[in-house]
Structure 1
């Protein structure tokens, strides 16, 4: 499994980028939002990745932030949502906006994405509400839904250990509050694990 790529942006297309890592060019599918965040050709680039394996292909999909990758995983877990539709949703909505839409059961917002009709939008908000937890709406929920930097990496680590997104985000938010700004990923994960197990 390839978790992330760190190298030089070699080229971009409508729906992909090529990242040169030590002389090897990785073709990575990406949302419009991620492609816009990458910068110019020839500059350093880092992408969080998800590997998609099917009977006839192996593909990489890349994301500018771990939270976007986590939402991709949630979205593709919904019946009828493939990689293309998930990327279209993430091109149209930031993770924080998507969190608010799911928690508010706002299918019209999700339906703004290309390829998402009303029925699919309704299925997405209905199925994902239980998966992201019943977090109350408001600024605190938005902050929990979209941590950045070491916080986002810590949430991703907890998700990989099997925690639900709401549990992971809540535990990391408490750990960040207790440790203060500039805390390391290792310290955040350790304290978040203690908070989540209480």
Structure 2
């Protein structure tokens, strides 16, 4: 029913933002990633929307990119994954990194989402993996050659490994930009750790 909303950003609550449009304050549930991109109160924002209607609930879900909205909708196609779980996954991982994790079958990364157990993580991988295209799995900020899927896989595994070791996605991505991406996964991880530990 709704494609997007443009309006004045009013503020953040626990799991939603408030956007005012034509004198009405809209409660829009969203991910941590979108929340982190919010401007100062009173500034204009635009969010891409998905409306979910159930017997006892009507809610608006909004994201600052179409890519994140599409990933949210894709996650909802998985049996047992509701809006809260989908938002949780999009809050602990950027869209491309979540796609990487699904592509390489990284259950541990997916289980970081609140309420996501091993069975649900396995189901997400099983049901979504084949729907993702290789060219969608490349994070442009990491400057990977999209023609070389082995590079994509190696970098994805290295990224997941660094996150599993306790480094933030931002730290991991930053150091991986400086590493030779044509090397083996093992060497990429070793070199990244050397750089991170100074």
TM-score bracket relative to the smaller structure: 0.5 to 0.7
Q: CA offset at residue 113 of structure 1?
A: 1.3
Q: TM-score, normalised by structure 1?
A: 0.67
What CA distance in whole angstroms lies between the structure 1 residues aligned with 2:42 and 2:80? 37
Query: Where in structure 2 are the equivalents of 1:74-89 lying within 5 Å?
Result: 74-89=74-89
Structure 1's consecutive aligned runs of 4 or more residues displaced over 6 angstroms after TM superposition are none
Q: CA offset at residue 81 of structure 1?
A: 0.2
For residue 25 of structure 1, what is the aligned residue in structure 2?
25
Q: TM-score, normalised by structure 2?
A: 0.67
Tell me the matched-pair count: 142
For residue 123 of structure 1, what is the aligned residue in structure 2?
123
Q: CA offset at residue 140 of structure 1?
A: 4.6
Contact 2:99 2:137 in 1 (8 A): no
Moved more, 97-106 or 71-80: 97-106
Q: CA offset at residue 39 of structure 1?
A: 1.6
Q: CA offset at residue 95 of structure 1?
A: 0.7
Map Cα deviations across residues 105-147 of structure 1 (whole Å, 9 max, x no partner): 1111111111111111111011101222466966255xxxxxx
For residue 160 of structure 2, what is the aligned residue in structure 1?
none
Gaps of 5+ in 2: 139-143, 147-198
Gaps of 5+ in 1: 142-198
Query: Where in structure 2 are the equivalents of 1:101-112 lying within 5 Å?
Result: 101-112=101-112
> 3-state DSSP class of the match of 1:97?
helix
What CA distance in whole angstroms lies between the structure 1 residues aligned with 2:56 and 2:99? 33
For residue 40 of structure 1, what is the aligned residue in structure 2?
40
What CA distance in whole angstroms lies between the structure 1 residues aligned with 2:101 and 2:66? 19
Contact 1:48 1:62 in 2 (8 A): yes
Contact 1:103 1:135 in 2 (8 A): no
Please say which structure displays the higher CA radius of gyration: 2
What CA distance in whole angstroms lies between the structure 2 residues aligned with 1:93 and 1:40? 23
Query: Where in structure 2 are the equivalents of 1:1-198 lying within 5 Å?
Result: 1-133=1-133, 139-141=144-146
What CA distance in whole angstroms lies between the structure 2 residues aligned with 1:113 and 1:16? 17
Map Cα deviations across residues 40-68 of structure 1 (whole Å, 9 max, x no partner): 21111111110001112211001111100
What CA distance in whole angstroms lies between the structure 1 residues aligned with 2:16 and 2:48? 14
